[in-house]
Amino acid sequence: MHLLIKIMPDWLKEFLRVARDFIYLLLYTGKNKYCPVCGKYSRKFRTYGETGREGSVCVHCNSLERHRLIWLFLKRKTNLFDGKKKLFLHFAPERCFLPRLERLLGAENYLTADLYDKHVKFNMDITNIQFEEGSIDAVYCSHVLEHVQDDRKALSEIHRILKNDGWAIFMVPVNDMEETFEDPAVTDPAERLRLFGQEDHVRCYGKDFIFRLKDAGFRVSEVSAESLCPEEEILKMGLLKDEFIYYCTKS
């Protein structure tokens, strides 16, 4: 199947994608669920293919639970939507956010970065960021640090480039254990999958993740869906109660 997709011409892939989206719209039309990212309703959220997690994906914009939580937080609790110019650095940008943030902030202020992805504006190593000290208003870095060997260096770099009144948002998969488990000697993908849950993960974060942020010099607020909205909104927007946003400021 993968080989078939690889050799398929782009026009056919695009046609199949449009056809699939059309079928989804027919199957999922309804008002039960609401996606705050795209602002559209559906009968239910789609199952997430990789994990088989039900009630996960918005059929309109492909947002996952964590994307909807982040968007809600950005809208309700940050200054991102106040219309004032700000430089926003987004690591490993998610497709459901890209066009919306570019429209909101303006192309010159919305800075996308990734180590490998050629579609971003800056190919850079998060542990060696190419921006001046105190030059960036806001940073968003979700599900990146668990792939980075020297995550403490990445955090100190983000702290360095933030303005004094700037803020950064981090999300990582946090496991139900007190202490983070890591072993830099483990480099074999199969072994990483076994130990860390994914072939390209270098650790399993525990509940002590917040201390790495504090060690980097940040003041940290841990935000959950329950602290952000009532139960009926959590259900309506398909949010997870065990995902956390780490909102960090310099002072």
Pick between residue 38 and residue 70 the one whose CB is nearest to Zn ion: 38
Q: What is the DSSP letter of 238?
A: T
Give the separation between CA 193 and CA 11, rounded to whole angstroms. 35
Closest CA to 229 of 81, 79, 77, 101: 77
Task: Please tell me whether residue 239 binds Zn ion under the rule CB under 5 A.
Answer: no
In 3D space, the residue among 79, 212, 223 whose CA is nearest the CA of residue 138 turns out to be: 79
Beta bridge partners of 247: 169, 221
Query: Of residues 33-52, which lie at the interface with Zn ion (CB under 5 A)?
Result: 35, 37-38
Is residue 60 at the binding interface for Zn ion, with CB under 5 A as the rule? yes
Interacting span for Zn ion (CB under 5 A) from 59-67, 73-81, 210-218, 223-231: 59-67
Q: Does 72 bind Zn ion (CB under 5 A)?
A: no
- In angstroms, rounded to a whole number, what is the distance separating the alpha carbons of residues 249 and 159? 9
Please report how close the Cβ of residue 54 comes to Zn ion at its closest, in angstroms. Answer: 17
Residue among 57, 128, 137, 124 at smallest CA distance from 91: 124
**Of 29-37, 75-83, 183-191, 213-221, which part binds Zn ion (CB under 5 A)?**
29-37
Q: Which CB, 166 or 238, lies closer to Zn ion?
A: 238
Total residues binding Zn ion (CB under 5 A) = 7
- Return residues touching Zn ion (CB under 5 A): 35, 37-38, 58, 60-61, 63
